[in-house]
Amino acid sequence: MTDPADLLRKHGLPITAQRLGVLRAVAARPHATADAIAEDVRSGIGSISRQAVYNALGMLAGKGLIRRIQPSGSAALYEDRVGDNHHHLICRTCGTTADVDCAVGKAPCLSASNNAGFRIDEAEVIYWGTCPDCLTKA
Amino acid sequence: MTDPADLLRKHGLPITAQRLGVLRAVAARPHATADAIAEDVRSGIGSISRQAVYNALGMLAGKGLIRRIQPSGSAALYEDRVGDNHHHLICRTCGTTADVDCAVGKAPCLSASNNAGFRIDEAEVIYWGTCPDCLTKA
DNA sequence: ACAAACTCTTGACTTGATCCAGTATTATGT
DNA sequence: ACATAATACTGGATCAAGTCAAGAGTTTGT
């Protein structure tokens, strides 16, 4: 099983209550902001500082254990679904975020028609639109 | 010809020195931040307030005259290349931004495999990697 | 030229995120 | 277990990007 503590150990990270809390919160609430995660962790282990949250999120994202997405005009979101190539749908009206699998296959978005000499290591795709709820309301 | 003043008039926007300056700056420096644009306009017409810059950029982006891209971890960038479907390459090391045409055709990125009931109106693609300069330096 | 509508300026403010120094916790070797 | 070195956490200050609001200044249409 993928015990959170083991997960941290495998990546050479010291195990702290804060990191475990952050990991749990990210798993429990996909597409949450750093602030929402801090709230969640607080309700679990009592308290955590904003810096510890950013610190943990940054480190986990760096190790590839969680993924960070940053939509225009709002705070960064974090999710624990990594390793597959999926993208995001964001509602312009209410901000709801949904996962969407890549349209063309496994990891195709990494191929641009002309890479201008860049070495590309990631493609980030955000689809903007209106979610079903906001469509019916309008 | 696409005289900037005519462009504004055609969209029902009053013509002001600030807006013309912003248009010129966006055309002159693709992928510039709001701050860089303000600097550029200042060197052209003497002075402009931050508010007027954001105001003009927001209005022009709303009318579709310019495009706004917001990479993770940096300020929003603006460019005047609109109407075609192109995406962006950003260097993780130095932040250089380059244009890249869409890999698959005219406007294909609008089709996700499963839209979850959303009505999609735009697809935003950012390729992350390392630019040629930073590659040779490393 | 005049009035109405709109825009610009100024300054304070909000939010997301980071930096820093000091304290507390974790991991490691005995 | 225990001591020690390394690492992480706390709290406060700080920064940067954007936004809000009120009054002064332009632009447009008649």
Tens of pLDDT, residue by residue over B79-138, are: 999 888 788 999 988 889 999 876 554 444 555 556 788 888 888 888 888 999 998 987
CATH class, A84-137 region: alpha beta
Q: Does residue B54 lie within 7 Å of nucleic acid chain D, judged by its CB?
A: yes
State which H helix or E strand residue B42 sits in: helix B34-45
Average pLDDT over residues A2-21: 89
Band of the pLDDT at A109, cuts 50, 70, 90? low
CA of A7 to C1' of C17 (A): 27
A-side interface with B, Cβ within 8 Å?
Answer: 68-73, 76, 87, 89, 91-92, 98, 100-104, 109-132, 135
pLDDT band, very low/low/confident/very high, at B78 (cuts 50, 70, 90): very high
- Chain B residues interacting with chain A (CB cutoff of 8 angstroms): 68-73, 76, 87, 89, 91-92, 98, 100-104, 109-132, 135
Tens digits of per-residue pLDDT, A29-80?
999 999 999 999 999 998 999 999 999 999 999 999 999 998 887 899 999 9
How many Å apart are CA A73 and CA A88, to the nearest integer?
A: 15
Set of chain B residues whose Cβ sits within 8 Å of the Cβ of A123:
125-128
Question: How far is the CA of B2 from the CAs of B9, B56, B64, B68, B86, in angstroms?
Answer: 11, 18, 15, 20, 21
Q: In one letter, which amino acid is A129?
A: G
**How high is the mean pLDDT of chain B?**
87
Q: Using alpha carbons, select from A51, A137, A129, A28 the residue that is nearest to residue B124.
A: A129
pLDDT for position A74: 85
For residue A9, give both structure tokens: 């150990």
**What is the length of chain B?**
138
| Residue A125, pLDDT score | 85
Q: What is the pLDDT of residue A86?
A: 85
What's the gap between Cα A20 and its chain centre?
16
In the three-class reduction of DSSP (H, G, I as helix; E, B as strand; rest coil), residue B4 is classed as helix
CA A90 – CA A74 distance, rounded (Å): 11
- Give the residue ranges with Cβ < 7 A from strand C: A 9, 14-17, 33-35, 50-51, 54, 58, 70, 74-76; B 13-14, 16, 18-19, 47-52, 55-56, 59, 73
Q: Which fold has domain A4-77?
A: Arc Repressor Mutant, subunit A (1.10.10)
Distance A16 CA to D1 C1' (A): 21
Q: What sign results for the dihedral spanned by CA atoms B83, B87, B92, B98?
A: negative
pLDDT of residue A107: 45
How long is the CA B72 to C1' C18 vector, in angstroms?
Answer: 15
Residue type, B118: F
Amino acid symbol at A83: G
Query: What per-residue confidence (pLDDT) applies to A113?
Result: 54
A123 φ/ψ angles, rounded to the nearest 5 degrees = -120, 130
**Which of B3, B5, B45 lies closest to B21, judged by CA?**
B45
Q: Domain locations in chain A?
A: 4-77, 84-137
Q: What is the pLDDT of residue B106?
A: 43
Say what the pLDDT of residue A103 is.
58
The model's confidence at residue B52, banded by pLDDT at 50, 70 and 90, is very high
- Token look-up 């693709």 returns B30
Interchain CB distance below 8 Å, B123 and A125:
yes
pLDDT score recorded for residue B116: 80
